[in-house]
Structure 1
Amino acid sequence: VTYRGDLLGIDAAAQGLFQKFPHGLTADESLILASLLSSPNTSIDRIAAKTCLFASKVRCETLKNLCQTHLKNRARLPSRPFLAPHFARLIQSNSSQVKTTLDARLQKIGVEAIQSHLLALKNQNAKDAALIVANHQTGEILAYVGSSGDLSSAPDVDGVRALRQAGSTLKPLLYAKAIDENRLTANTLLDDSPYQVQTSSGLYSPENYDRTFKGVLPARIALASSLNIPAVRVIDLLGVQRFYRTLVELGFTLRQEGTYGHSLSLGAADVSLKQLAEAYGALARGGTKVSFQITPQDKVVSQSIFRPATTKTISDILSSKEDRALSFGLDNPLSTPYFTAVKTGTSKDMRDNWCVGYDETYVVGVWVGNFDGSPMWDVSGISGAAPIWRTLFDTLHPDGYERQTATASPPTLSLARIENKRASILYPVDGTLIAFDPDIPVENQAIVFEHTGSRVVYWQLDDRLLKSDTIRLEELSRGTHRLTLLSTEREILDQIRFEIRGKEAQLATQKQ
């Protein structure tokens, strides 16, 4: 049907007559369009009379006024695209005005960043993208771009809420859970070498993105450099079901428990960009997840997931240029001159790529891919989503340096508190069980002791004063050991006990 001359179809009629998409029409506006179906170009008075036949007498006068307002002038489609059509769908209301948390300037920059970057990738089959920016302290959504608009083959799909394969973006949450349960530390040595896991469907043999192996390296480098095999070793240590339940706690809508295997550590689950941004917001907030607000009236729900010490460790890893240099080098869009903790991800066959990161106040998430599921050509998280992410964060940091937040303490006071605080043992915690890993050469297995505070301390293991904070497991006998933290004056600051298990079996394996 052609409405009022040249508006072809209901979508064009809704935009041309009411400046809305069809899903945003009120009941009265929908009634006017329905009345136009049989005689699209008839007079205003006849249309008004026709609409009154389907409405009560009370509403008739309102409908007449509405017809006069919207039908008297020649209908025109909007001269510019809607700034936030997908967000508008979330706040459908009969009210003419709805107050939201969106920042119009940031929203416009987000739309332009997506379109300009996708045009640069047009020869690599990347047509769709989405982004979200939120204040993780308050839960307010500041920018929400659901698609690439005219560049998209499916512009009405909301890429912020659509479920796509997560790729490596789940790794920080996996490591956070393992650290939270004292199963490893940032300096635990992980072996990046060929690894196989027995599953019900056969052997699962993960590979790294570049199909190479890096050998034994600390967990912090394995995470920051996004190595796959160490991540599978971590979920093997933690347990698939424990990680699954943590993701559910964080708000991910996963399939039934028991559906996933070890590949969950590499992002085999389908997640939404909003869910990822909220989960990373928990890392930014010291372990407390806050639900994002659509309007200022929305109730903010918070839930504690990780210990603050755990999220501090993860943030330190994700903000380190040096730790990620093994895979990404030092010069890339993730290397900001101000503090950001960030992770990229790429799904199987380059069908999706992600970049999610945060600073002291904001979390920004970006997805790039194709809504039809077709693979991109040589587009990773670094080349696809990361440049858009960087544009948004550079906008949030216009001066290019660290912003001072209202909650930040003066540096001198902060340093003084840390310096005077009594040191305590952070890892291992009292009662920790440490077992030899049969898949790692015994000479490469070690414990790195950690403590709070910045003062100079000494470590004493049983009755032996150690020369460093690291000891190889092959030096320790099976059984319980006492670890003591001493001040420079040999005052006992803290003391714990931990147990070594499985040494005989490990040594026998090494000899074979």
Structure 2
Amino acid sequence: MSVSGFIKILLKLIFRFFIGWAFRGGVVIIIILAGTVFYYKVNLPALSDMLDARAKGSVLLLDKNKDIFAWRGEQFGAIAKADNISIHLKNAILAVEDKRFYGHFGVSPRGIAGAIRINLSEGRGALSGHGGSTITQQTAKLLCLGKPYKAKDWKSESQYEANCRQSSLWRKIKEALFAIALELEFTKDEIMTLYLNRAFLGAGSRGFQAASQRYFNKSASHLNPAEAAMLAGLLVAPSRYAPTNNLSKSQNRASIILDLMEQQGLLSSDLTRYYKNNPAKLSIKASQKAGGHFADWVMQSAPYFFTRKTTEDVIIETTFDPKVQKAAEKSLEYIFKKKVDPKSKAQAAIVIMSPNGAVRAMVGGRQLQALGAFNRSTQALRQPGSAFKPIVYAAALEQGYRPNDLIRDEPFVIEIPGSGTWSPQNYKKQFNGVVSLTDALAQSLNIPAIKLSQRIGLDTVGQISVALGINNKFSTNPAVALGVDETTLLDLTNAYAIILNHGIKVQPYGLKKLSLDTGVSFSNKHVRSEKERVLSSETAHNIIYMLEKAVSEGTGKNASFLHWDAAGKTGTTQDSRDAWFIGFTSQYIAGVWIGYDNNQPLTGVNGGSLPAEIWSLIMDEIHKDIKPEVLPMTKKKLAFFPNMVDSGYEPKQKLGGASLIDKLILTIFGEK
């Protein structure tokens, strides 16, 4: 045998050997792949068990009218089925994601080849960028290859999600096999139904039904082509294209999808042109984004397990009033736009309550770019300044002093042990001589407040302050009378609510009732009891009278508005680092704060300017269509013979009884 003949025989043997092994290997691979598909198929859960992708339940928050105004966690709407959604939505999804969906077996070799070609031409890896995945393969990914989230198997939900989003070659092979299993087990419309309900579409929306309700406040069966295209456009990048984040970007994306629908014969040219010229817009509810800080506050006050751990959906009924919230946001925006430098980073907070403690609205800060979740209404501890003075006067009235008692507003020096002397000044750097307690509070004079606190004792002021919920601890610094101890806007506003509530304690609350899917519910009971009295009713009514004078004649004149009795107090801290106005009518108590987060001084702002103006605008708006009512204030004490507080006078009786001379004056002059 020649050498060449030997080589030919050898090559034939080698070829047969490798062909044989390749055939055997191929058979083994086919068996493994088929076995894997079979394994996936027999272990597939029932269709109904795979529709809801959420590991935890969501929380719906209802306003006082029982309408949804906010939610936490991923929302899942009613089941969206392939045969009951808008035909435009189905066509938009097919146009942008998988136009051959109803013709392939779960995997599209042509689609994969095209994606690889595009990726390589754009300088990326073959599997980077365009995936070429069919809707069935995407459903396999959304189902995480049939593995539901179990807390005991994963360190966190984020680790589980990261595992489900892997894009390695081996992962894609498994997704393709799982897709084939889905095709063998379910019809095309059933697979489409899974996809419709598992896809995440931004803004906490899981599934197209939830997204349709979230963005357009309508069922997915009623979407027009523009709305359908906008939702389909979210599939590629839900956070980037969410219309609540960037409506114009979302509309541009939808316009591209409308063109695709036309090119594929899924939408007529006339309709394409019309809906490109009339793009989808958010519903009023979606665009308002109202009550974010209020919702956060309610969630913090609700039982942790039911709002963050439960796998059931939770419904929370709240005290939130969207009309009042809108008035607060609108008034704040108007004043800042009109009177504040657009570049200013000054912040603001607003709380509005009913006399029973029900919080109706809350603004935790202006919407600046760097704004986080920090709620300045409930979390920011700031000095209240002169807005604290009513507490000093309330403590004095509880000790027997009266609104028309007199006090000298004059230079005053206090010896502070270990610190030397302190010579406080009034805001305007001038003194007014003898003034009544009512005028001293109305004009926000510092000297009388300090003298009065020294007279009755700082411990007495501290006890009243703690009872009103303003401070848990109270310092013995003489400047305490000027509001140097920090508090929150919510706590200070609630203290004024107690005054309006005839001195009976109230607690600020937002949660009324919490209900679970199972029917279990919990009510938040706020029982008012005479045993929880903080101030005598007479003290409360006299303080209301004094605060009414602060608005009608004093530093709070900018807070007055037509036809209603209004009472309140301005507050401005040293160097104008904080500016406050807290006040009330018979219907509402509202607190407004303005300042910088870094505590820098405000320029040209005090409690009687912008905060009072914002307060007035809010109150004017929310009192429309309400019949004016008078404040519960007592005036009879103003006819009593006044005493000089700082002349050694000590009240001989607590409030409640009138002396003989008092009765004589009342008989002669009557009530003022």
Same fold by TM-score, threshold 0.5 exceeded?
yes
SS at match of 1:98: strand
Aligned to 1:67: 199
Whether 1:173 and 2:391 are equivalent positions in the alignment is: yes
1:48 aligned to 128, 142, 145, which one?
A: 142
Shift of 1:307: 0.4
Distance 1:90 1:264, change over 3 A: same
**Structure 2 equivalent of residue 25 of structure 1:** 73
Q: Which amino acid aligns with 2:466?
A: V
| Alignment map for 1:18-167 (pairs within 5 Å) | 24-25=72-73, 44-50=138-144, 53=147, 55-56=149-150, 65-67=197-199, 69-70=206-207, 73=232, 74=234, 75=238, 76-78=242-244, 79=247, 80=287, 82-92=289-299, 93=307, 95=313, 97-123=315-341, 125=344, 127-136=346-355, 138-150=356-368, 153-161=370-378, 162-167=380-385
Residue in 2 that maps onto 1:380: 606
TM-score, scaled to structure 2:
0.53
Identify which of 601, 621, 625 aligns with 1:395: 621
Q: Who is 2:28 aligned against? A: none
Separation (CA, whole Å) in 2 of partners of 1:26 and 1:120: 38
Cα deviation digits, residues 191-214 of structure 1 (max 9, x gap): 111111111222122111111111
- Number of corresponding residues: 406
Cα distance change on mapping 1:404 and 1:309 into 2, 3 Å: closer
Q: CA deviation at 1:289?
A: 1.8
- 1:420-439 aligned at under 5 Å gives the runs 437=646
Q: Does 1:220 align with 2:399?
A: no
Identical residues among aligned pairs (%): 25
- Contact 2:592-2:611 at 8 Å conserved across structures: yes
In the alignment, the residues of structure 1 paired with residue 412 and residue 441 of structure 2 have an alpha-carbon distance, to the nearest angstrom, of 17
How much does 1:45 deviate?
A: 2.2
Q: Distance in 2 between matches of 1:284 and 1:361?
A: 10
Larger radius of gyration: 2
Alignment of 1:64-463 (within 5 A): 65-67=197-199, 69-70=206-207, 73=232, 74=234, 75=238, 76-78=242-244, 79=247, 80=287, 82-92=289-299, 93=307, 95=313, 97-123=315-341, 125=344, 127-136=346-355, 138-150=356-368, 153-161=370-378, 162-182=380-400, 184-200=401-417, 201-255=419-473, 257=474, 259-297=475-513, 298-300=524-526, 302=528, 303-320=532-549, 324-325=553-554, 332-334=558-560, 336-398=562-624, 402-403=628-629, 437=646, 459=660
- How far, CA to CA, are the matches of 1:291 and 1:41 in structure 2? 56
CA drift of 1:323 comes to 7.1
- The CA distance in 2 between the partners of 1:143 and 1:447, in whole Å, is 42
Say which SS state the counterpart of residue 320 (structure 1) adopts: helix
Q: Which runs of 5+ in 2 are unaligned?
A: 1-58, 62-70, 77-126, 152-156, 161-190, 201-205, 209-230, 248-286, 300-306, 514-523
Structure 1 unpaired stretches of 5+: 1-17, 29-37, 409-414, 429-433, 461-468, 470-483, 490-512
The verdict on how the C-alpha distance between 1:212 and 1:41 changes in structure 2, with shifts beyond 3 A counting, is farther
- Where is the helix percentage greater, Structure 1 or Structure 2? 2
Report if the CA contact (8 A) 1:282-1:290 is conserved: yes
Determine which structure has the larger strand proportion and give its number.
1
In the aligned structure 2, how far is the partner of 1:452 from the partner of 1:141? 33
Deviation string, structure 1 residues 405-430 (Cα, Å, up to 9, x no partner): 9xx9xxxxxx9xx9xxxx999989xx
C-alpha displacement at 1:88, in angstroms? Answer: 1.6
SS in 2 for 1:87: helix
- SS of the residue corresponding to residue 271 of structure 1 reads coil
1:328-360: CA deviation from partner (whole Å, max 9, x where unpaired): 6xx533365311111110112111111111122
Q: TM-score normalised to the size of structure 1?
A: 0.68
Matched AA of 2:424: P
